[in-house]
Amino acid sequence: MTDSKTSQQTSNNSKSFEKVAEQVHELWMGWATRLMHEETLSQERVERWKQCFVPYSELSEEMKDLDRKFAKQLIETYESSSSR
């Protein structure tokens, strides 16, 4: 495989990974919104969560890293179950 082909695959994998992390964030926002309406949560938690109710692209790198961590776990689980 040529270096440019490897570089392109790495770039595509990185973009795909970020897309999964973005979807994780969208799912979290839906879950958190439902939970806020159905459960009694501390005001501190509600305020902290509301700060994260923004598009993935607007999150701090620290918050994106939390979504990336979960995305990585999902991908690893999928890959290990599909290789059986």
pLDDT greater than 80 at residue 5? no
pLDDT greater than 90 at residue 7? no
Taking the model in full, what pTM does it have?
0.79
Q: Are 27 and 70 in contact (CB under 8 A)?
A: no
Taking only the tens place, the pLDDT of each residue in 35-67 is 999 999 999 999 999 999 999 999 999 999 999
CA separation for the pair 76, 70 (Å, rounded)? 10
pLDDT greater than 90 at residue 73? yes
CA separation for the pair 28, 45 (Å, rounded)? 14
Q: Are 29 and 79 in contact (CB under 8 A)?
A: no
Which residues, other chains included, contact 29 with Cβ-Cβ below 8 Å and sequence gap of 6+? 52, 53
- The residue-averaged pLDDT of 23-42 equals 96
